[in-house]
Amino acid sequence: MEALVLLISLIAGLLAAVIAGAGSGMRIGGEALGLQLAAYMGSLYGVLSGAAAVVIGLAVLLVIRGVINA
């Protein structure tokens, strides 16, 4: 069960990073680059930074859970 929750959390975090990256890319660079290119670039960079944040955040939560249960 714990592995399933971890996998769902990872997928949800990555999906949120893609959506947020695309939205911020369109808002910041939409006028200069065009909305479609800005969304592509934003989603790429959103995944790059968001993936690291999601993995580190889940690792910290697992460590905290292990300390509390010990």
Q: What is the mean pLDDT of residues 34-63?
A: 90
What integer pLDDT is reported at residue 3 of this predicted model?
83
pTM: 0.79
pLDDT for 1 beyond 70? no
Task: Give me 38's structure tokens.
Answer: 């800005």
Measure the N-to-C terminal CA separation of the chain; round to a whole number of Å.
19
pLDDT for 70 beyond 80? no
- CA angle at residue 5 from 52 to 21, to 5 degrees? 35
Please count the structural domains in the chain. 1
Domain that holds residue 63: 2-69
What is the SS3 assignment for 70? coil
Q: What is the mean pLDDT of residues 48-70?
A: 88
Q: What is the mean pLDDT of residues 11-30?
A: 92
